[in-house]
A and B are shown apart, each in its own frame.
Chain A
Amino acid sequence: MSQYILRRLMIAIPSLLGISLVLFFVLALAPGDPFSELATNPNVPPEVQAALRAKFGLDDPIYLRYLHWLAAMAQGDWGFSFVSRVDVDTLILQRLPTTLYVVGSSQLLALLIAIPVGVYAATRPYSLFDQLANTFAFIGFSLPTFFTGILFILIFSVKLDWLPFVYSSVPGSGIPWLLEMIRQAIMPVMVLGLFQAASMTRFVRSAMLDVIRLDYVTTARAKGLGQAKVIVKHVMRNAMIPVVTLIALQMPAVFGGAIVTEQIFRIPGIGSLLISSILANDTPVVMAVTFVFACLVVLFNLIADVLYGWLDPRISFR
């Protein structure tokens, strides 16, 4: 098992390198210069500019620049924000927990909805419940997160006035503060969670239907185990294997949804940091946040691979 995890790690590294390569060359190919702001700033004398360019190696051949950049990134030297004059890594570390908290709880919510609904629908294919679940799932993933977000604000904040629609991150303590923190997270987590639950329900249902007609399920039924046990122990256990992969493939979309959700509810996570940095032309932050998102996707893929190996003994023993 540990050997398997190690092998997966070795596969993750080239894809991280590949992503960094893509990012770097996109940046290098882009018209304009990350230092154009300095160049147009008359207060910076040309010789300082030239020194800066030399220091950052902007006149070197492109592969050397990539290696320099990669080395700097690997050492944790991510540059500093043009706008807030803070090191990029501190800025991101400040914001990252909020994003992970929102994304994590919404994934949890999605799983809590998708697994029971998908499993139940698959055991009664074409029943009323199944058709309802299917329809809702279909509508759910056709509704873009920004529109559900707005609908939720309209219904729960404007009309019913139950929940706050602006996320505040004032530090505090005590039970009322904690409740407030939970209350304000309800809507963003719901928006993201329901969106995820919709596609997950479809994955779970179709994976269950694929497994339910296999021979070993008949074997299990022939043992007189009872419907519930057959479904949970024999069908679900096997159906989860492809579902894990499909959920991992969804991760890029999840983080996309997180950016939108953070923007709508003004959650101070790395998604809204990305948007504000783009609007402020803050290149180092844009680069770093994009790279962090890429790392998160690779990380979740890695987790999915490990789960996959744990769920499927055929993989880890090979």
Chain B
Amino acid sequence: MALLDIKGLKTHFSTDAGILQAVDGVDISINRGETLCVVGESGCGKTVTAMSILKLIAMPPGRIVEGEIMFEGRDLVPLTSRELDDIRAKEIGFIFQEPMTSLNPVLTIGEQIAESLRRHEPVTKKQALERTIEMLKLVQIPNAAGRVHHYPHQFSGGMRQRVMIAMALACRPKLVIADEPTTALDVTIQAQILDLLQDMKERFGMAVMLITHAMGVVAETAQRVVVMYAGKVVEEAPVDELFGNPRHPYTQGLIRSIPRIDLDAEHKTRLEAIGGSVPILINPPVGCRFAPRCKHAMSICTQKEPRLREIAPGHRMACHLGDAS
């Protein structure tokens, strides 16, 4: 049984202009101890999917319209926010994109990590502090015992993200959702943070759902990859299969847009970009949502929505092209 199994999730937002179908029928599953990458352009619904799991989206205007989110065999969708509180941080930890704004500026980092421990585990104040210092040491913050009493503004961006990781892992959750944890950081720091995540994963054996738009990050960390486009999953495969045999035109476009430095000069091709941009999801196009930008679009693509189906063991995609072949 998968650790987390999302089926047919639809999360919509009501706006002045109409209903925004940010996530529109997404299936994602994660096994214990696995690293799953969710990739896609900004606005494709990957963050909303992740936030829906723990109902961290603002409701209203957001609303889970349909679908189920099975975590260890228990559906999270009907749970109230109060019931979810026992799962948040304890079972599923969250690492956010912006380390600069995701920490409360008026509380010390120690207080912020310890409050999670004290909420979920029967520890005294002193034990919580000790565990906090221990966590800070694990995420390689120098002089952890002294730094624990410092405020977020006294840390650099990379250090703050380490603090965020310590906070998310403090209660040893079974699943950690990392929403673009490196996007806001310097390139050199990015690699360190990814290594740290990998390291932590090996130490604690938790599953990781890593959300990113960078294919480079995917290649480096993932075991399995889910590609999202305009609120839907378009392709899903093990990482080698996806990079070696991408089937959906959008995935192919994404892979072609990665700069390659391993090829020599004569083999270098022009870096390709995917033309157009993500459609606005208030009145999405009928049929395949990628069709307007797709080089291979056929007449059926603008009429009928392709269904996600298995084309090889563990490899699923949603495109009419496969039907023809």
Q: Considering the complex, give the chain A residue whose CB is closest to the CB of B154.
A: A317
Q: Which of B51, B82, B101, B106 contacts A237 (CB 8 A)?
A: B106
* Min C-beta distance of A302 to chain B, whole Å: 21
* Min C-beta distance of B176 to chain A, whole Å: 11
Indicate with 1 or 0, residue by residue over A157-172, a CB within 8 angstroms of chain B CB atoms: 0000000000000000
Instruction: For B93, list chain A residues within 8 Å (CB).
Output: 222
Q: Which of B82, B104, B106 contacts A220 (CB 8 A)?
A: B104
Instruction: For B116, list chain A residues within 8 Å (CB).
Output: 223-225
CB neighbors of A among B60-103 (8 A):
81-82, 84-90, 93-94, 96, 98, 101-103
Q: Considering the complex, give the chain B residue whose CB is closest to the CB of A221.
A: B56
Give the docked Cα–Cα distance between A282 and B167 (Å): 66
Q: Which of A219, A224, A238 contacts B96 (CB 8 A)?
A: A219
Asked if B96 and A215 sit within 8 Å, CB to CB, the answer is yes
Most chain B C-beta atoms within 10 Å of own C-beta, residue among A224, A227, A313: A224
Asked if B85 and A216 sit within 8 Å, CB to CB, the answer is no
Most chain A C-beta atoms within 10 Å of own C-beta, residue among B82, B98, B115: B115
Q: Considering the complex, give the chain A residue whose CB is closest to the CB of B177.
A: A222
Give the docked Cα–Cα distance between A291 and B290 (Å): 72
Give the docked Cα–Cα distance between A237 and B56 (Å): 21
Give the docked Cα–Cα distance between A302 and B81 (Å): 42
* Min C-beta distance of B80 to chain A, whole Å: 10
- For chain B, which range describes its interface: under 10, 10 to 19, 20 to 34, or 35 or more residues? 20 to 34
Asked whether B151 is an interface residue with its Cβ less than 8 Å from the other chain, the reply is: yes
Q: Considering the complex, give the chain B residue whose CB is closest to the CB of A314.
A: B153
Asked if B94 and A222 sit within 8 Å, CB to CB, the answer is yes
Give the docked Cα–Cα distance between A96 and B48 (Å): 59
Give the docked Cα–Cα distance between A152 and B81 (Å): 45
Asked if B106 and A313 sit within 8 Å, CB to CB, the answer is yes
Q: Considering the complex, give the chain A residue whose CB is closest to the CB of B86.
A: A224
Given A218-B56, A225-B119, check contact A238 B105 (CB 8 Å).
yes
Given A222-B89, A224-B86, check contact A312 B119 (CB 8 Å).
no
Instruction: For A215, list chain B residues within 8 Å (CB).
Output: 96, 98, 101-102
* Min C-beta distance of B107 to chain A, whole Å: 8
Instruction: For B101, list chain A residues within 8 Å (CB).
Output: 214-216
Q: Considering the complex, give the chain A residue whose CB is closest to the CB of B104.
A: A216
Asked if A317 and B119 sit within 8 Å, CB to CB, the answer is no
Q: Which of B88, B120, B151 contacts A313 (CB 8 A)?
A: B151
Asked if A234 and B104 sit within 8 Å, CB to CB, the answer is yes
Q: Which of A224, A241, A311, A313 contacts B119 (CB 8 A)?
A: A224
Instruction: For A218, list chain B residues within 8 Å (CB).
Output: 51, 56, 96, 102
Asked whether B54 is an interface residue with its Cβ less than 8 Å from the other chain, the reply is: yes
Asked if A223 and B106 sit within 8 Å, CB to CB, the answer is no
Instruction: For A226, list chain B residues within 8 Å (CB).
Output: 82, 85, 119
CB neighbors of A among B219-253 (8 A):
none
Give the docked Cα–Cα distance between A312 and B54 (Å): 30
Give the docked Cα–Cα distance between A219 and B120 (Å): 15
Asked whether A213 is an interface residue with its Cβ less than 8 Å from the other chain, the reply is: yes
Asked if A225 and B115 sit within 8 Å, CB to CB, the answer is yes
Asked if A224 and B151 sit within 8 Å, CB to CB, the answer is no
Q: Considering the complex, give the chain B residue whose CB is closest to the CB of A222.
A: B94
Instruction: For B153, list chain A residues within 8 Å (CB).
Output: 313-314, 317
Give the docked Cα–Cα distance between A297 and B127 (Å): 47
Asked if A222 and B106 sit within 8 Å, CB to CB, the answer is no
Asked if A223 and B119 sit within 8 Å, CB to CB, the answer is yes
* Min C-beta distance of A152 to chain B, whole Å: 39
Indicate with 1 or 0, residue by residue over A223-261, a CB within 8 angstroms of chain B CB atoms: 111110000011001100100000000000000000000
Asked whether B1 is an interface residue with its Cβ less than 8 Å from the other chain, the reply is: no
**Chain A residues in contact with chain B, CB under 8 A?**
213-216, 218-227, 233-234, 237-238, 241, 311-314, 317
Question: Can you list 27 A-B pairs, Cβ within 8 angstroms, ordered by A?
Answer: A214-B101, A215-B101, A216-B102, A216-B104, A216-B105, A219-B94, A219-B102, A220-B104, A222-B56, A222-B93, A223-B89, A223-B116, A223-B119, A223-B167, A224-B89, A224-B90, A224-B119, A225-B115, A225-B116, A225-B119, A226-B85, A233-B107, A237-B106, A237-B107, A312-B105, A313-B153, A317-B154
